[in-house]
Amino acid sequence: MKVAIFSTCIIDLLFPNVGAAMVEVLERFGCETTLPVKQICCGQPTFNSGYVKETQKVMHNEVDALLGVDADYIVGPAGSCVAMLKEYPEHLKDDPEYAAKAQALADKTYEFSQFVYRILHVADAGARLDATATYHRSCHMTRLLGERTAPFELLKHVQGLTMVPLPHLENCCGFGGMFSVKEPEISRQMVDEKVDSVLSTKAEILISCDQACLMNIVGRFNRRGEHIKVMHLAEVLNSNVDMDRVQYIDDADLVPGGGTYANQNQ
């Protein structure tokens, strides 16, 4: 199975360790990965800032870059950025050259945990992490991608890991890309609420599938003089792996729903 890695800007430039962990996990499960060198930003920051027409050039580049390599699937480490690729067909629907390409791109693009759980049908990745942790469920992953199951199922099988439910799980961390820039005071109040919720769990580690959320939350932790370790799910699944423990979902039909792209208006 050939997989093109949609690295995303924040992982590529700031957290390459997360990208490396994702690649190692995928290759461990038989994927042949490639990193399209022409990919840049998916265009989400400029699009959400109102530069709709200007962002189409960025979308064109990303379509060409990700479809320009021989791959069965495209996998990214961030629900937010993957959701943007899933929106390309709508944004480029009137583009005679890119409408069909955008749909082809969206159809084979998955967020990392979705891909591992729903396509590779991995139940237990064989990871071990002796710690107490809690999980931050990002807004875009949940509300745009519609994914509420895969990360929790994969974390459930990590040996030695005790997961503590995060209070107010549905609440945003306050980042929201440009929202945190345009509305800093509201954003700060939201992330303070998230930090307080995380602290109430007494967890040692905060886990998420969106590194931008983790960056925002741990940044507020540090500014408040509080400390917590953060890990992307890919790093967790790449910890102390014992392949003899790996388990797959026997019947793919038993994989629960909730992982299909959800329109943002729903």
Q: How many helices (H) and strands (E) does the chain have?
A: 13, 10
Q: How far apart are CA 216 and CA 177, in angstroms?
A: 10
Residue 242 has pLDDT above 70, yes or no: yes
What domains does the chain contain, in order, with CATH numbers? 2-118 (no CATH), 123-243 (3.40.50.11810)
Of 250 and 24, the one with more pLDDT? 24
CA atoms within 13 A on the CB side of 74: 29
Closest CA to 237 of 132, 112, 147: 112
- pLDDT above 90 as % of the chain: 85
Model confidence at 177, in pLDDT bands (50, 70, 90)?
Answer: confident
- Output the average pLDDT for the chain: 92
pLDDT at 255: 67
**Angle at the Cα of 89 from the Cα atoms of 85 and 90, rounded to 5 degrees:** 105
Determine the pLDDT at residue 117: 97
Per-residue pLDDT at 265 exceeds 80:
no
As a whole number, mean pLDDT of residues 66-83 equals: 96
* 27-61: pLDDT as tens digits: 999 999 999 999 999 999 999 889 999 999 999 99
Predicted local distance difference test score (pLDDT) of residue 183:
84
Task: Give the pLDDT score at 266.
Answer: 28
Distance of CA 25 to the CA centre of its chain: 14
Beta strand 247-248 pairing with 122-124 = antiparallel
Surface-to-core class of residue 99, CB atoms within 10 Å of its CB (0-12 exposed, 13-18 middle, 19+ buried): middle
Give the per-residue pLDDT at 252. 61
Write down the pTM of the prediction.
0.92
- The Cβ-side half-sphere exposure at 91, using a 13 Å CA radius, reads 26
Distance of CA 101 to the CA centre of its chain: 23
Q: What is the pLDDT of residues 95-127, one digit of tens each?
A: 999 999 999 999 999 999 999 999 999 999 999
Residue bearing tokens 């959400």: 48
